[in-house]
Structure 1
């Protein structure tokens, strides 16, 4: 049943996003008087269709995509028969380059708008979840080496920033505060109140290594929330509601302690002492994967706060949240290209995305992931790869700047190369998903 729910959420989310993406192309094309021959959600074979005016609207049997067929355009169909005749006024190739550019950007623009709208309504309807400094100070903070270098210590409780009270824990890492001259924290350390100054060059040191940006974090007690099927945790006997008391005779109270120990025990077997929800203690032998995990979701014992927003307030907040997805994508691609992150571990295909939705139907989670996918779809389609919208944008931009279009033969060959690249990427994504299914 969980697999069916995952699949249903994936297909519904992609159908909405692909349908809107292709609708963006269709509307822009019709606005400029281009003939749209076909609009399809899903790829052939066709399940059913209806013709309205000059356009056939259909649903394909392969739901992971869609397309519009615009007269006089070299697209993924590679139908070049029309190109052997003189351009007709209603054809894509007969229109000015700037109009063709807008048509190719139409899908991307609609996906961006969709993502922004989804996040605005999520913020408006459900507010913003955050940890207050009052809640964090129940257990204090933990810091990495950079945090220790400026004088913070794990267990400290931050009371003030530059002598002022504050509510949001994330203000502790706010660049505006860190860039101020003479900034300092007021902290409680073992019952003593002291000030910790921020060095003038701290923001520069913070940027040297992305890991430094999490130089201070909250300590959080935790229990096991849910265990992934067939994971090392599942095979070892870990269950929902378990509290992990120790790992290899090292006491565990906070999640960062647990993560640190597992990172040192990668590719080994550890002994865990856990207390079940019924109060019974058990000894477990659990394998640790090569990336230092065992396969469960933790449930924090910290209580988040929720801030509600008016609709006017939700607009800028939701817009920022939406574009932060693009920022994450850019950072992820940068790390992959630098070799700092493995592509096989970072990239997922349809199976991985379905698992991301999860096996229970949660509408808030569904729309959050759909909003994220909408922004990701816009970003991916803007990549300068032939057969993607971004490839067409590159060629049209060249035409606008140079005053002459690439030849039809060049466009046709580029489209074929792009299709091969996309096919290889799809095979890799599917294969990688299947490979992950059989990994511990």
Structure 2
């Protein structure tokens, strides 16, 4: 059921983005009186799931869910209709239009993607606002409990000041900032320290897979998740959701402090004081030779931690006028972060290419339960990602056509049809190779 929910959201989001992207080409083509022969969601090699001709355009749904397309008369595109190109140019064909009109037609799709992503973020800010943990409110520093954090050179109690010289406002942004960054500064015991992020750090994250999780976390209280069945304290009175606030006579605030204090009593008995629904209760416990009491660590949402006085969250609500700059900033940061990640992927020494994913990776980012806020957040991200990817100057992508059109406008020389045919084939082979590699990575991860 979980897979079905994720897959349904993925297909819905992808279909919406493809249709609107192709509409971005369709509308200016029609405005400039250019004939559009086909408008398709997904590809229709050999046959279609559905098709209907309205006017001069066939509208349909293909059976290969790898994208979609509009077939514009007189244009060398993924249809590779070279026979049409051998005939004399007609006034309704793409090749007969002025270069500036052709440029607008080709840019229409990516413009729609960028505008759509921006609009979604604006409405999300207006509808939901933001609630987050400010980085500056993590007064006692981070919890370096993960090996990835240790590999970065972090220690429990470090206060992260900036990444690449930029102050990070939201604590939840830190993992992404470290993935995209090259250096960072921390405050440790009152001293400011500059550190370099290892070049192969992304490779380590990819190798860890889902176990990587959130490798940078704030310090958490010692909240009991469950008492193990083989725990020496199974009948001690400890309960799930108890928060340990003292070991023996020593008060503690965080789990890392409890771990240190418990180790003092290895193989002995002592007491722990727990906060249970706002009331303190002292419970005798046995400490194992490993310095544990045989319980699993539980986690509390930040809203509960705020009520307990651990962290103060920030909440921002926006009027529609305020949501416009807030949504603009969100769209811009999404685009710039994505560009940073692409740079890492194209640098083999980072190992980021191992994390390149296909349809399974994209589908997996959707939640297992329907959430309108999450769905539209992911759709906005995918829209901006799709817009940027299509703008890359690769033949077979919009960016390739834009590049050749700009060359014509600057030099006054139009590339030959034969050159465009070869470029289209080369671009298609490159994209197919990337597609196979990305989806092959997904399959490899599943087996791994």
TM-score when normalising by structure 2: 0.66
Partner of 1:220: 219
**Aligned residue runs from structure 1 range 4-403, under 5 A:** 4-44=4-44, 45-132=47-134, 136-137=138-139, 139-140=140-141, 154=157, 219-221=218-220, 253=255, 302-303=305-306, 304-403=313-412
1:421 is paired with a residue of what secondary structure? Answer: helix
- 157 and 208 in structure 1: CA distance in 2 versus 1, 3 angstrom threshold: closer
State how many pairs are aligned: 342
2-structure distance, mates of 1:131, 1:348: 30
* Distance (Å, rounded) in 1 between the aligned partners of 2:91 and 2:160: 71
Which residue does 2:430 correspond to in 1?
421
Partners of 2:300 and 2:393 in 1: how far apart? Answer: 39
Residue 177 of structure 1 is matched in structure 2 by none
Q: Distance in 2 between matches of 1:67 and 1:323?
A: 27
- Is the 8 Å Cα contact of residues 223 and 299 (structure 1) preserved in structure 2? no
Moved beyond 4 Å, runs of 4+: 132-135, 139-145, 155-158, 205-211, 241-245, 296-303
Residue 69 of structure 1 aligns to a residue whose secondary structure is strand
- How many Å separate the matches in 1 of 2:420 and 2:59? 27
Aligned residues of 1:136 and 1:218 also touching (Cα < 8 A): no
How far residue 340 of structure 1 moved from its aligned partner, in angstroms, is: 4.0
RMSD, matched Cα: 4.2
| 8 A contact 1:142–1:156 mirrored in 2 | no
Flag the 1:354–1:208 CA change in 2: closer, same or farther, 3 A.
closer
Deviation readout 1:173-208 (Å, 9 max, x if unpaired)? 9xxxxxxxxxxx9x998xxxxxx798xxx9xx6899
The normalised TM-score by structure 1 is 0.67
Could you say what secondary structure the match of 1:357 adopts?
A: coil
Q: Distance in 2 between matches of 1:253 and 1:328?
A: 33
Q: CA deviation at 1:332?
A: 1.1
Which residue does the alignment assign to 2:208? none
Give unpaired runs (5+ residues) of structure 1. 159-167, 174-184, 190-195, 212-216, 227-240, 246-251, 258-276, 284-295
Moved more, 17-26 or 415-424: 415-424
Residues 52-97 of structure 1: CA distance to partner in whole angstroms, max 9, x if unpaired? 2111111112233100000000000100112112211110000011
- The 3 A distance-change label for structure 1 pair 41 and 242 is farther
Looking at structure 2, the residues matched to 378 and 297 of structure 1 have their Cα atoms a distance apart, in angstroms, of: 38
Alignment match, 2:270 = none
Shift in CA distance, 244/20, structure 1 to aligned 2, threshold 3 Å: farther
Deviations 1:20-39 (A, max 9, x none): 00000000111111000100
SS in 2 for 1:50: strand
**Conservation of the 8 A alpha-carbon contact between 2:346 and 2:353:** no
Conserved 8 A contact 2:158-2:188: no
Q: CA deviation at 1:346?
A: 2.4
Pick closer, same or farther for the CA change 1:169–1:408 going to 2, 3 Å.
closer
In the TM superposition, what is the alpha-carbon distance from 1:364 to its structure 2 partner?
Answer: 1.0
